[in-house]
Amino acid sequence: MTYAGRPELTADDALGAEALRARGAAVEALPWDAAGVRWDGYDAVVVRSTWDYHRRPDDFRRWLEAMEGLRVRIWNPVSLLRWNMDKRYLFDLPAQLPVVRGELIEPGAGTTLAAVLERRRWSWAVVKPAISASGEDTWRTDVDSVVADEERFRALAARGAVLVQPFVEQVVTGGEWSLVYFRGGFSHAILKRPRAGEFRVQSQHGGRSEPGRPPPALLSQAERVLAEVRHPWLYARVDGCVVDGAFLLMELEMLEPALELWADGAAPRRFADAMLALL
């Protein structure tokens, strides 16, 4: 499943579709908000590049409700998609897990960005909407620029809840790991690095990615996070970085993450096998 801005499969998702077709499955790409689609006529609906949901969260929630009402076999399941689309989920994870949570500013809270940094004693912080994707409307601020950023912060907070998190320097100095899992099993990993002068690692912001081999300790720590997910699931991407030798969770992506199937020749087969096993 895709979105109207790019209704075709991405090159990466096409690898998974090719592996499914090789096993006899029929695969069709459709935008999530396409009119007249009989979603309950498919054996399974797989959410992939629905990359405008964060701009239309209310529409997307209504669509999820419709899928629930039709009892569509959708992966990941509606309950998990609904939970994961809002970064409040970070606060649902157990306190003992190493997670970059930060402070959630609800609409109408009346606080200032400067007050958040002062209260938390942060020199640097990252500001983003609670419902966001691909680093959109995400920026970095510090104690010297926080006053100048106040108007931008107020405009963002007027549109919805805002998440202010401590800036994790290791994203720039060591890179961010993306660990990809299918049906509970580790598949492959990539290491993402931002371009010079940037902290966002997404390719649209100049970030670069390469296949990586994470140490077993990182996988064990990532799997502690996944063990807290109380829903069945097809795919997960666990994003984080290494701080003082431990894995620090940045995002648990279970809605529409790029699965980076290009990074491992066997990854498309693993994805296809996991999908067909659910059927």
**pLDDT higher than threshold 70 for residue 150:** yes
Q: What is the DSSP letter of 195?
A: P
Tens digit of each residue's pLDDT (9 = 90 or more) over 114-132: 999 999 999 999 999 999 9
Looking at residue 53, its amino acid is Y
pTM (two decimals) = 0.94
Q: Are the C-beta atoms of 99 and 249 separated by less than 8 Å?
A: yes
- Averaged pLDDT, 156-176: 93
CA dist., res. 182 & res. 174, Å (int): 26
SS3 content of the chain, % helix, strand, coil (to 5): 35, 25, 45
Q: What backbone phi and psi angles, to 5 degrees, belong to 29?
A: -100, 125
**pLDDT tens figures, 59-77:** 999 999 999 999 999 999 9
Top CATH class of 89-98+170-260 equals alpha beta
Residue 39: the pLDDT is 97
3-state DSSP call for residue 36? coil
* Whether the predicted pLDDT of 47 surpasses 70: yes
pLDDT the model gives residue 205 = 65
Fold adopted by 103-166: Dna Ligase; domain 1 (3.30.1490)
Per-residue pLDDT tens for 253-270? 999 999 999 999 999 999
Residue ranges per structural domain of the chain: 11-84, 89-98+170-260, 103-166
Q: Residue 66 has which token pair?
A: 């419709």
pLDDT at 238: 97
